[in-house]
Amino acid sequence: MTTAQDNQSPAPSPTAADSGASATVAFKQNAARRGVVASSQERVAGIVGDILSAVRDVIRSHDVTYPEYQATKAWLMAVGEGGEWPLVMDVFIEHAVEDQVSQSQNGTKGSIEGPYYLPDQPKLGATCTLPMRADEKGTPLVLSGQVRDIDGTPLAASEVEIWQADDDGYYSGFAPHVPDGNLRGVAVTDADGHFAISTIQPAPYQIPHEGPTGRLLEAAGWHPWRPAHLHLMVRADGHRTITTQLYLATSAYVDSDVASATKPELFIEPVDDGTGVARVTYDFELEKA
């Protein structure tokens, strides 16, 4: 994952396999924590049956050959061996699930969680600075706002969890050279639901593309870039948790996100306050659970 900032010295380059293996471990841990949601036999048969039927329809409509079938099977095996299934699912499929689920939800728009969420990050104050290196690159950014319910009532002691890549496009926990917990934390709002988080302004980055996911992108002629964004998970007792992303409206690739996860309602435009610090306000509204 490297950024578009070509004029900077390159950072160490963990492989896609490194990132994929970490994503697989993180997914398994998160799945175990969340528990398994059982579906009826009829629902499993219906969903899986339709998926297989759709695959067979694609084979017929595109007149798929045996060499193409064998190449697909080899690619699927490589994805598993490289630990890239969380990446593939989150980049190419999760946005469709999120769009479907959001149709029955109110409040702030959601977006995909992605493969880089790690739970149990430190809780910080309402006004806080994310853990970062002393020489952390990037433009300082302050994200402030208020958490309230959809009726406008402030939600005190709600949690605004944030995680992001560094200025070179690497996430802590998924790149060996980035310190654990870097640019991750949970702001706990004050009595009026307010928060102010100091961090760095995100940059566009490429998803891991040295492995089988990258080979698919190259074969299809698709680019691997995600626009600059912050990940957030906002929660309060008795309310539905919102998982979302905030995107820099002027970022490259905001109109062609490889993960197809951008939404106009989630665009932000930080403004320099005259001291070199970019500031932006974004409020979150949660519906009752």
| Per-residue pLDDT tens digits for 63-105 | 999 999 999 999 999 999 988 888 899 889 999 999 999 888 9
DSSP 155: -
Confidence of residue 32 (pLDDT cuts 50, 70, 90): low
Q: Give pLDDT, residue 164.
A: 97
Confidence of residue 36 (pLDDT cuts 50, 70, 90): low
Domain assignment present for residue 10? The answer is no
Do 248 and 280 meet the contact criterion of CB atoms below 8 Å apart? no
Q: Give pLDDT, residue 115.
A: 87
Task: Please give the residue that has the higher pLDDT: either 34 or 187.
Answer: 187
pLDDT > 80? residue 27: no
- In 3D space, the residue among 203, 226, 186 whose CA is nearest the CA of residue 139 turns out to be 203
Task: Give the structural domain span for 128.
Answer: 17-26+38-286
DSSP 157: T
CA distance 142 to 127: 10
CATH at 196: 2.60.130.10
Domain assignment present for residue 2? The answer is no
219-245 pLDDT, tens per residue?
999 999 999 999 999 999 999 999 999
Domain assignment present for residue 206? The answer is yes
Domain assignment present for residue 4? The answer is no
Do 177 and 12 meet the contact criterion of CB atoms below 8 Å apart? yes
First to last CA, the chain: 37
132-158 pLDDT, tens per residue?
999 999 999 999 999 999 999 999 999
Domain assignment present for residue 83? The answer is yes
Q: Give pLDDT, residue 7.
A: 41
DSSP per-residue letters across 86-154: HHHHHHHTHHHHHHHHHTT--SSPP----S---S-PPEE-SEEE----TT--S-EEEEEEEEEETTS-B
Domain assignment present for residue 31? The answer is no
How many domains does the chain fold into? 1
Domain assignment present for residue 219? The answer is yes
Kindly list the distances between the CA atom of residue 170 and the CA atoms of 28, 51, 165, 184, 236, in Å, as whole numbers in the listed order.
21, 34, 5, 12, 29
Domain assignment present for residue 3? The answer is no
Q: Give pLDDT, residue 234.
A: 98
Whole-number percent of the chain with pLDDT over 90: 78
Confidence of residue 4 (pLDDT cuts 50, 70, 90): very low
